[in-house]
Chains A and B, each alone.
Chain A
C-alpha cells in the first residue's frame, strides 16, 4: 500500500494553556490535531499526578498534530509563541500516513 511522508509534532503543555495553543494552531492554518490528557509525570518541578486534582493548574495535556513537512515551520512558529515560557516539551518526528490529502 502506498504511504506518504508526514511530520508528527507532539507538544506536552500545561493544561491552562491548552486553549491558547489550539487557538494559535488554528490561526496558523493547522486545523487537525488531537488533545490527550496526561496522567502524571516528573520534571524539573518534581513529580506530579492528576489523581484527585480539582484544579487544572497542576495538569498537562499533549497536543498531537500530523502535518505535511512543508507546513512544519508555520506550525512551530505559532506553537513557540505560546509555549516559549511554559513548562512542557515539543518533539518532532517523522511518520507516514495513508491518505495524504487529509493533512
Chain B
C-alpha cells in the first residue's frame, strides 16, 4: 500500500500530470486558453510516431519471441470480451438505454493510446523495462471491441448497427493505427541505427510534447465535463471509475499468464483499463448514430482517462511489480 501511495504521489507531481491538471482546471474555470485543432493533431501524430518507432527499435534490439503471438491474440480476445462485462455492469448500475450502454461498452473494450503513452512514460521514469511489441498489441486492441458492441446491439434489441465494408476500412485503416503500426515497422526495420539517427527528434522532446498534449487533453476533458452535467449521473460516473479497475484486472491476469515482464504486465493492464476516445467514437457515430455521444465521450475522456492518468497507472505499476517481483 505504501508503494502505491508513494508512486501515486510521485506520479501526481510529474510534469505530465500537472500539465493535464492545468488544462482541466483552466477549462473548468472557463479560461480562454485553447490549443488549436491542427496543433493537437500535430502533437498526436508526433507522439504516435515516436512511440511506434521506439517500440519497433526495441523489438529489433531484443529480438522477437513466441510471446508476441500470444500477446497479440490475448489483446484481441480482451478487446472483444471486455465490452460484454462493461455492458453487463452498465445495465446493472445505470439506467442507460441498450444502445447507449453498447456504445459505452465498445469504448472500454478498445484502448486509449495516450494512456498507453503515459504509462510508458511512467515506466521509463521508474526504470522498468517492457516489451517493445506492446505497441503492436495496442493497435490490435482497437477494433474487436466495436464488433462486440454491434453484436450486443443485435442480440439485445434485434436491430443491428450499420457495419459495412467502408466502416471496416475506416476502423482498420484509421490514422492512429496506420501511423502506430507503420512507425513500429520502420523502427523494427531500421533498428538501433535508425533510432540513433532521429533520437534527437523522437526521444529528447518527447516528454515536453507529451506535457503540451496532456494540457490539451485536460482542456478537452474539462470542457466535456462542463457540458455533460445533464447526462453524467452518479451511477454513470461511478462506472467510469470502476470499469478501468475491472478491465485492468483482466489485463493484469492476462499479462501474468503470458509471462510478460513487469513493464509488459503494466502495459497490458493499462490497455485493458483504458477507454478509447479517438477511433471508437468515430465508429460509433457511423454504426450506432442513435447512441448519445455526450455520454461515451465524457465518460471516456472526462472520467476514465483522468482516473487512469492520476491514480490508475500508479496502481497498475505497484500491483504488477508486487505480483511479478519486479
The answer, among A19, A45, A48, A55, for a CB contact under 8 Å with B281, is: A55
**A87 touches which of B170, B216, B289 (Cβ 8 Å):** B289
- Indicate which residue in B37, B282, B292 contacts A51 across the interface (CB closer than 8 Å): B37
Which chain A residues border B299 with CB–CB below 8 Å?
none
Q: B37 to A50, Cβ gap below 8 A? A: yes
Cβ < 8 Å to A, chain B residues 276-326: 277-279, 281-286, 289-290, 292-294, 297
* Chain A interface size, under 10 / 10 to 19 / 20 to 34 / 35 or more: 20 to 34
Is residue B98 within 8 Å, beta carbon to beta carbon, of the partner chain? no
B219 close to A52 (CB less than 8 A): yes
B54 adjacent to chain A (CB < 8 Å): no
Nearest CB in chain A: distance from B243 CB, A: 20
In the complex, the answer to whether A54 meets B289 with C-beta atoms within 8 Å is: no
In the complex, A91 has a CB within 8 A of chain B: no
Cβ contact within 8 Å between B289 and A85? yes
Residues in chain B near residue A46, CB distance under 8 A = 227-228, 230, 294
Within 8 A of B (CB), among A53-89: 53-58, 85-87
Residue of A nearest to B230 (CB): A46
Residues of B within 8 A of A20 (CB): 166, 286
Residue A49, interface by CB 8 Å: yes
In the complex, what residue of chain A is closest to B47 when comparing beta carbons?
Answer: A54
Q: Note all chain A residues with C-beta closer than 8 A to B233.
A: none
> Would you list which residues of chain A between 1 and 33 have a CB under 8 Å from chain B?
14-17, 19-20
Please, how many angstroms separate the alpha-carbon atoms of A85 and B36 in the complex? 30
Which B residues lie within 8 Å of A14 (CB)?
A: 285, 289
Distance (Å) between the CB of B138 and the closest chain A CB?
16
Q: Is B220 an interface residue (CB 8 A)?
A: yes
**B residues 194-251 in Cβ contact with A at 8 Å:** 216, 219-220, 223, 227-228, 230
Known: A45-B294, A47-B227, A54-B278. A16 touches B36 (CB 8 A): no
Instruction: Name the contact of B40 in the complex, choosing from A16, A17, A54, A86 (C-beta under 8 A).
Output: A54
A16 touches which one: B216, B286, B290, B294 (CB < 8 A)?
A: B286
Counting residue pairs across A and B whose Cβ atoms lie within 8 Å, the total is 67
B282 and A53 contacting across the interface, CB-CB below 8 Å: no
Report the minimal beta-carbon distance from A36 to chain B, rounded to whole angstroms. Answer: 14
Cβ–Cβ < 8 Å partners of A86 in chain B: 285, 289
Chain A residues with Cβ below 8 Å from B37 are 50-53
B290, A85: Cβ atoms closer than 8 Å: yes
Q: Which residues of B contact A51 (CB under 8 A)?
A: 34-37, 219
Once the chains bind, are B281 and A57 in contact (CB under 8 Å)?
yes
Give chain B residues whose Cβ lies under 8 Å from the Cβ of A16.
170, 282-283, 285-286
Distance to closest chain B CB from A44 (angstroms): 9
Cβ of B256 to closest chain A Cβ, rounded Å: 32
Contact present for B285 and A45 (CB under 8 Å): no
**B95 touches A (CB below 8 Å):** no
What is the minimal beta-carbon distance from B237 to any residue of chain A, in angstroms? 16
Contacts of A47 in B (CB 8 A): 227
A85: chain B residues at CB < 8 Å are 289-290
B30 contacts partner chain A, Cβ-Cβ < 8 Å:
no
Complex Cα distance, B167 from A19, in Å, reads 11
A87–B284 CA distance with the chains assembled, in angstroms: 13
Contact status A57-B284, CB under 8 Å: yes
Task: Point out the residues of chain A lying under 8 angstroms from B230, CB to CB.
Answer: 46
A48 to nearest B CB, angstroms?
A: 7
CB distance from B70 to the nearest CB of A (A): 31
Residues of A within 8 A of B (CB): 14-17, 19-20, 45-58, 85-87
A53-B220, A85-B290 known; 8 other A-B pairs, CB under 8 Å?
A: A17-B286, A19-B166, A20-B166, A48-B227, A51-B34, A52-B37, A55-B279, A86-B285
Q: Can you list 22 A-B pairs with a CB-CB distance of less than 8 A?
A: A19-B166, A45-B294, A46-B227, A46-B294, A48-B227, A49-B223, A51-B36, A51-B37, A52-B35, A52-B37, A52-B40, A54-B40, A54-B44, A54-B278, A57-B278, A57-B281, A57-B293, A85-B289, A85-B290, A86-B285, A86-B289, A87-B293
